[in-house]
Amino acid sequence: MIEKHELESIIPHRGKMLLLSRVKGYNLEERSLNAEYHVTGDCIFYDANIGGVPSWVAFEFMAQAISSLSGIRDRELGIKPRMGFILSIPFMRMEIPVFHLGSRVEIFVKQIDRTDVIYTFDGTALLEDRKALEGKLMVMEVNDETFNKLITEHS
């Protein structure tokens, strides 16, 4: 198990943008990871009008789970964690609209395809063991040099 304070050593997210509460388990050979998030009022996506976090935010939970998997792999290889970006969400099905304050969201991601630095993952978010959201994420992983070039070109 990897707790929140240790996640900062494997993913680039900081402060309120570090959303995961912990990594519960992972398998580098299968390229899969299981994480969880405990919904709090200080979440950057918390909306008092709905009393929680919109469930579509689970895609960011999934993206951070993917980043955690990549960071764990990079740590084992002895390299600095890399930046990643969500390129698209080609499929999504939402069954629960809100993650209410105090609830526990469990996140599962598994890589299903890879082309160079583009990865496709299946992802699922469960709310108290009930499927809340499922979908596919296409993400891109970049090194610092590529990231800095992208920022410079688009500033």
- Range 55-77 average pLDDT: 95
Q: Where in the sequence is the domain holding 106, given as residue range(s)? A: 2-153
What CATH number should be reported for the domain holding residue 122? 3.10.129.10
Residue 110 predicted with pLDDT over 60:
yes
- Dihedral over Cα of 100, 101, 103, 104: its sign: positive
The count of domains in the chain is 1
Q: How many CB atoms lie within 10 A of CB 70?
A: 22
132/128 Cα distance (integer angstroms): 9
- Residues 3-54 pLDDT 10s: 998 998 898 888 888 999 999 999 999 999 999 999 999 999 999 999 999 9
- What's the pTM? 0.90
Least confident of 1-15, 85-99, 100-114: 1-15
pLDDT in tens, 125-138: 999 889 999 999 99
Q: Using CA atoms, how far apart are residues 78 and 95, in angstroms rounded to an integer?
A: 40
- Report the length, in residues, of the chain: 155
Report how far residue 135's alpha carbon sits from residue 132's, in angstroms, rounded to the nearest whole number: 11
